[in-house]
Amino acid sequence: MADANFYEEARKQRMEENLRRFQDLGVAKIAKSLTDQATKPKPKAIAKPRAPAPVDPNLVRRSSRPHTTVTSYAEEFIEDRPARKKPRSGFSTRVKKPHEKVATEAQRAKVIKHAEDYRVRHVPSANPSYVKSMLQSHVYNGFWLNVPRDFCKKYLPGEKTVVVLEDAKGAEFDVVYTGEKENAGLSGGWKAFAEAHKLDDGDALIFELTEPARLKVHIFKGIGTGDEGLLKGKKKAKGGKGKKSDAKEDMVEAAAENTTQPRERKTRNSKKAGE
C-alpha cells in the first residue's frame, strides 16, 4: 500500500514539473490557441452574384476576341461556269439503256409456265433442276444470280468453286459459284454468259445439274416472243394437221433452242488474253 502511494506521488510531481516547463517555454499557450482555433466554427462564404456581361443580340460568340470579318465572294460568281451535277447511285435513279426491256407480270408468268412444262416433259427426273426468272439485276446491272438455298445445300459444293454452264448448243462458260452461305449464287463469269445469250428481264432459265459442278441451261425468251416467236425456226405441218400437244411441245423446244452460240468457250483468262 505504501508503494502505491509513493508511485502516485512521484507521478504527480513529474506532471507538475512538465507543466511548469511547458509554461516556461510557452508551449501550453500555443497548444491552447490551436485547440481553440480548431474548434471554432468557420463562417460560410457567401457567393456574390456576378453581373451578366452585356450580350450583343446580333452576334453571339463564346470568344472575347474581336470578330474577324469574312470575305464574301458572292459578287464574284462566274455565270459561265457549268453547273455541277450531283452524283446518283442506286437502282431507283438508274437510267434505263435502249436495249434494256422490262417484262410485265403476264409476260413473266407465261414464260415461266413454258419453262415448267419443258422441265416436266424433257428434263430427266434423275437430274436435279429448277426454273429461274431473270430480273434486271441479273442481266442489266449487278450481274449477280442467286441460287435457291435448298438446291445449294443438297446438290452444290459448300465452298467457293468454279462451275460450268452449258447451253443448248453445247457452248460452255466458266462461272464462279460463291459457295453455300446466306446469299449463295453465281458471280464472276455470269455477265459473259448473260451478254452472250442476250438475256432480258422476264426470261426464264432452267438450270439442270448434269454433273457435280456442271449445269445445263435451257433458255426461254420472254419479251417480244409470242407464240409465233416460240415457233420460229420450226416449219408448220402442211394443211395445219397435227395434234395440239405436239405443236405445244414444238413451241417449247424451239424456245429452249433459241439461244446465241458463241464461237468458242469463254473464260475469264481467255477474255483477258484476247484484250
Q: Which residues touch 261 (CB under 8 Å, ≥6 apart)?
A: 167, 169, 171
- Torsion angle (degrees, nearest 10) of CA 146, 188, 130, 217: 150
Q: Assign 58 a pLDDT band (cuts: 50, 70, 90).
A: low
CATH architecture of 105-220: Beta Barrel (2.40)
C-alpha cell of residue 90: 442506286
Return the axis-axis angle of helices 105-122 and 244-257, rounded to nearest 10°. 100
First to last CA, the chain: 125
| Under 8 Å between Cβ of 214 and 172 | no
Q: Assign 75 a pLDDT band (cuts: 50, 70, 90).
A: low
- Give CA angle at 133 (180, 171), nearest 5°: 75
For 125-182, the pLDDT digits (tens) are: 888 888 888 888 888 877 788 888 888 888 888 888 888 888 888 888 898 888 766 6
Q: Which residues touch 169 (CB under 8 Å, ≥6 apart)?
A: 257, 259, 261
| Region at 60 (left for phi over 0; alpha for psi -120 to 50; beta for the rest) | beta
For 179-215, the pLDDT digits (tens) are: 766 678 888 888 888 888 888 888 888 898 888 888 8
For 87-112, the pLDDT digits (tens) are: 555 444 444 555 567 778 888 888 88
What is residue 262's predicted lDDT score, i.e. its pLDDT?
40
CB atoms under 10 Å from CB of 234, counted, come to 13
Kindly report whether the global pTM for this prediction surpasses the value 0.95. no
For 252-262, the pLDDT digits (tens) are: 444 444 443 44
